[in-house]
A and B are shown apart, each in its own frame.
Chain A
Amino acid sequence: MTIDLAQFHEMFFQESAEALDTMEQTLLQITEGTVEKEQIDTIFRVAHSIKGGSATFGFTGIASFTHTIETLLDLVRTGRIGITPNEMDLLLRSVDVMREMLSAEQYKRPLDEQAVADLQDSVKAVIARSSGAAPTPVPAPAAVEPGSSVPVPAAPAPAAAPGAERWRIGFRPGENLLARGNDPLRIFRELSRLGEMSVRVDAAGLPPLAQLDPHRCYLNWNLELAGPREREALDQVFDWIGDDADIRIDAPVIDAPVTPAAPRAEGSAVAPKPAPEPMPAAAAQPAPVAPAAVKAPETRAAGGEAPKAAPSESTSIRVSIEKIDELINTVGELVITQSMLSQLMVNMDGPQSEELRNGLGHLERQMRALQESVMRVRMLPISFVFNRFPRMVRDLSQKLGKKVELRMTGEQTELDKTVLEKIGDPLVHLVRNSIDHGIETVEGRRVVGKPEAGTIHLNAYHKGGNIIVEVIDDGAGLNRERILAKARERGLIGPDEELSDDRIYNLIFQPGFSTAEQVTDVSGRGVGMDVVRRNIMELGGNVQIFSNADHGSTVRIRLPLTLAILDGQLVRVGREVYVIPLVSIVETIQIRREQINSVAGGRAELLRLREECIPILRLYQLFEVEADTTELDDGLLTIVESDGQRMGIFVDELQAQQQVVIKSLETNFRQLTGISGATMLGDGRVALILDVPGLISLFESREKQARDDRQAAVRHAA
């Protein structure tokens, strides 16, 4: 039978990646000097498991490397060495290298072999130092050679004797042979595969029936075996017996036509060179208490008799994300159908309408429950993201010579998988910033009377249908004056403009804004807070920063529970209904004519609102639909914000705020600037979901186009 081991590789890579995460986390939990038994056991088990798997699946390099790590871990486990910062560093770097090696195999990527070899040498050096000599541990496992079928390597055998030879074997089972599940019958069967064998049983030890313990083996056997040239083959058969039997194997007699050896004992049976299958049952027959009889109590129950207990499978299953999304999509459709039905019912009367209404009410509640539980399938605890931070904080603070403690709370808070994947990088950036710019040096902290070690607190919790993730540090806080100066220098605010502290702090999310006096190796390498904010906005969330001089700062990220549903404000323009994401709406106001300034010859309109000039977008113009009114003071202006830019969207009327199920335009039609998707309303109509950042840039480019056209026209006229 040939089995393609490659089919298990994916699984191996996946579980090894998880195993390495476990190893890293456990390592980071080790406080200097004191290693809990449970911790080292876990780390050892993980390394051991990767070694076994990689050797089995033919990844020799990984097997060899993990073997070295395992040897080091074994020294720790047996208390011969402790984990000093040096070992900790080696082990953490080894985790990285093992990750690299695994992904090199998984994605067929090149590997820095030299780095692997160097680290392996460093680990070996530690091993050598502590064992006082060159490391001579168990040989590293070789990968399996496909096709070889020798089950167990055994001790080297004495030189083979040539010619036809008969091995004489004395076999005297001890008391424990049967108790360990071994069975003389099976041993004889194995031996008989090797060549022609004769078996003589010695039943002298058999007690009277009354005293007979059926769990014991009273018989001894003398065997003669012709065939195997190597003693190794024989040793292998007896490999598992150990001291459960007294086995004497005499050097082969170069034979000697003494065909069936002269009977020396009472009972005698000769097994002819057997065909492999029918066992030489005859050998055991003379003995009334043959092991076969002993087996009786545990003989397999006749087929089907045994209760078919559910095999204990694992309590979770892996399902592809596509299947789940399909399910979510179908449920989304169902919700729409259900609300269409409810809408229809509103105007229905008749004898059975009440019952129907009740039934629909039930349906609606159940739909909601169904939708919620389907959504939950896509949710994962945020610990998946948080888990990378202990390592990062440790490495970074070491590099910067700062002392930082990491606190994490709410790790079990669940988030949509896609949101979870995309929130990782922004969080990394924020934590880096906190360590680099927020937390002071040990010196600096001592001066202001703070504890030497700064604290970074990652916190996650639910709030009103959203997930809040906070990065809180007890560092120096943001420097208000420096931000203000920088903002003036960049022309982000006017020279005399005064802003509230909150708005000043949030200026750091503006593109290209960095106040770090020196670009450090850690942060400040181009990706700024503006990218962080953009990533979070793309997820339908927002981010705010609060700061308190000398007490630290808090970055608060608000994220939607899911990307499949959106909290929207329905607005009406003529007969069309649009959805504006609630997260981008600042306020909706009714305006007076005198608040409006016309510029550029009446082609652009600006709203003056609390010392701010906000451009106005007439939605009916952009989408070329007929509105109820074109008079700005007749309708409403919804002020939206994206990337710090505000814009007023002119609409006829505000309608309900509601959750809408997002349908992608891209997959069903094509991508359109200014529209992020569509949804179905309860009455079956389609409403487009407005993409605020897209609308703003669309609006700007149209303005610019109009300006250019005008200038061109002027030039042309001249």
Chain B
Amino acid sequence: MATIMAVDDSASMRRMVAFTLKGAGHEVIEAEDGVEAFSAARDRKVDLVVTDVNMPNMDGITLVRELRTLPTYRFTPILVLTTESSDAKKQEGRAAGATGWIVKPFSPDQLIATIRKVLG
């Protein structure tokens, strides 16, 4: 299956995402913030990035923008986890190059369903 990077500064959310994705047969790499995620993504190409927005050091929007500058991540699906259902946040994510978003709160089933939309 796919290799997916789960980025969230909240350990419980990150574990929940990772656990769910692993349960669906994917390999998961975890990162605590944008900085960690970016360096891990450079070390190893992943098939999908699922990132939180509000994080210390480097937030999710910046992470998306940074990843899109890497040739290997030009077309990689990147999903943003957001509590905001407001359009402003989505637009900000889109402007940075995010593929789509998942609105919190979401259940593990919803996560799986959404992931399926972007994995080939």
Contacts and interface: CB of A to CB of B under 8 A. Distances in A.
Most buried by B among A55, A143, A151, A314: A151
A605 interface: no
B16 A5 contact: yes
Contacts, number: 176
Given A294-B75, A308-B44, A151 B29 contact: no
Contact of B83 (A52, A147, A307): A52
A110 interface: no
B86 A138 contact: yes
Contact of B13 (A53, A180, A244, A314): A53
Interface in A55-99: 55-57, 63
A184 to B, nearest CB: 12
B99 A307 contact: no
Interface stretch (A295-303, A440-448, A486-494): A295-303
A11 interface: yes
Contacts of B44: 306-309, 311
B94 A242 contact: yes
Nearest to B9: A49
Interface in A225-250: 239-240, 242, 244
A309 B44 CA distance: 6
B15 A8 contact: yes
A141 interface: yes
Instruction: Give the secondary structure class of A's interface.
Output: loop
B69 to A, nearest CB: 12
Given A53-B12, A240-B99, A152 B114 contact: yes
Contacts of A244: 94
Interface residues of A, number: 66
A215 B68 CA distance: 13
Most buried by B among A53, A55, A142, A145: A53
Contact of B75 (A49, A51, A57, A178): A178
B10 A52 contact: yes
A45 B56 contact: yes
Nearest to B53: A48
B61 to A, nearest CB: 13
Interface string B11-53: 1110110011001100001111000100110011101000010
A181 interface: yes
Classify chain B: how many residues form its interface, as a range.
35 or more
A671 B36 CA distance: 51
B84 interface: yes
A47 to B, nearest CB: 10
Contact of A45 (B24, B55, B94): B55
Given A141-B83, A144-B107, A240-B100, A312 B55 contact: no
A301 B15 contact: no
Contacts of B85: 138-139, 153
Interface string B54-86: 111000000000001001111111100101111
A686 B40 CA distance: 54
B10 A309 contact: no
A298 B67 CA distance: 14
A52 B13 contact: yes
A599 interface: no
Interface in B83-120: 83-86, 90-91, 94, 97-110, 112-114, 117-118, 120
B41 to A, nearest CB: 10
A3 B106 CA distance: 13
Contact of B117 (A12, A148, A190): A190
A244 B100 CA distance: 12
A15 B12 CA distance: 8
28 contacts: A1-B20, A1-B109, A3-B16, A3-B19, A8-B19, A15-B10, A42-B56, A49-B13, A52-B83, A52-B104, A56-B16, A141-B104, A145-B107, A146-B107, A146-B109, A149-B113, A151-B113, A153-B103, A179-B68, A179-B75, A181-B76, A185-B120, A186-B117, A240-B101, A298-B74, A301-B45, A307-B44, A312-B31
Give the 3 A-B CB pairs with smallest separation, nearest first.
A240-B100, A309-B43, A181-B99
Interface of A: 1-3, 5, 7-9, 11-12, 15, 42, 44-45, 48-49, 51-53, 55-57, 63, 138-139, 141-153, 178-183, 185-186, 190, 215, 239-240, 242, 244, 294-295, 297-298, 300-301, 306-314
Interface of B: 2-3, 9-13, 15-16, 19-20, 23-24, 29-32, 36, 39-40, 43-45, 47, 52, 54-56, 68, 71-78, 81, 83-86, 90-91, 94, 97-110, 112-114, 117-118, 120
